[in-house]
Structure 1
Amino acid sequence: MLLAADSFTVRDGKVRGLSLHLQRFHRATGVPIDQLRRLLSGVRGSPRLEFTAAGVSVRRRPARVEEDSVRIMGSLFDDRTSPLVKGPDLEWLASVKPSGGEAWLIDHDGLVVEACFATPVLFSGGRALFPQHPRQLDSVTRRLVVRAFDAFGFPYEFVGPLPPEKFDAGWLLNATGVRRFGAAPEGIRRQVLGWMDAHAEPVDVIP
């Protein structure tokens, strides 16, 4: 059984938010960060750190294609058992995620928690809105986007949970990239991607 996991993409030997990914995995598993760095050294593509009862390992996978946009294909009830830890619910999420798009995970009150494999940010009135929910996974890419907005002076705020009808224009964030849905701004998205690449961290351990 997969107890915890963390995945990302290596681009030109670097990973966006590598330290944040390793810290999140360490919090979930207790595996020392130095050990994780040694495991990942030399790995390319889109690796996944995996933690089971047998210990920690790295699953080597081909690099995932970074897409510019995504289709939202409905909503479904958030039936995850461990929403705050990435890993235990990955199999269930893969089984319910629509082919060729994404879906909102909805709580008992009909409010959006997040998407199956991504965290949303909305745009309204020239500013970004980050809906927060108690069952939302701590997103590394969201943290990076906030840092980029701070660097650019782009206005944003954190707001409470919202119903699906409020999610008409925004981005979906995950380690694969930043994808638009609806009439979300493209210029600032390109700037954010450039900032994240400029601040990406080397994955290889230097002897």
Structure 2
Amino acid sequence: MIDLYYWPTGNGLKIGILLEELGQAYRVLPINIRTGEQKQEGFQAISANARIPAIVDHAPNGLSEPLSLFESGAILNYLANKAGRFLPPAGTADYQQVQQWLFWQVGHVTPYLSQLQVFKEKAPEPIPFALDLLGAEATRLYGVLDKRLSEAPFVAGEYSIADMAIFPWIQPLRQGLDLANYPNIHAWRERIKARPAVQRAYEKGREVAAGEKSLALQ
């Protein structure tokens, strides 16, 4: 059994998608980041960085004690490795393809797109410099992704944890981008949206916090 400490943000949703794709038994333990529950001492004992998502695996391979993990990229790698699915064997070129796109998501997509959303949605008044800077980077990142998806149906060739990591962060309406300009992203996004496991993950997110903007799939 996996305990998933979670809120349905982009980072939380990616773990929910993988767990649903794996058919893994898991329990959702909501951490309401809007009311500051992530700052509680009990949660920080599991997630040292006081951020969701985090997991506790009560049956880790080769260990006698439960294993706790934070950081979404590390969690995706761990769960996929354990199950032997959605991640090629370590040491192969295909494995490295998944890793480079996963790290691209962690290092570029989330930091820039999340900041763009904050400045667009929460700033007391528009800050043109920030909006221009982050908007330009969002446009660049969408261009990188669209180019890659012109070469393969999924970012690492086959559907993998890299796609699951990127997908929840492609929110064009929130980010002020038009998918008509990115036909390959649009087609990729529709393929992933149609997956039953993805639909289940988003439905479970709505059960936790239906109003979260990350749950919109326009």
TM-score by length of 2: 0.34
Greater per-residue strand proportion: 1
Higher normalized helix content (fraction of residues): 2
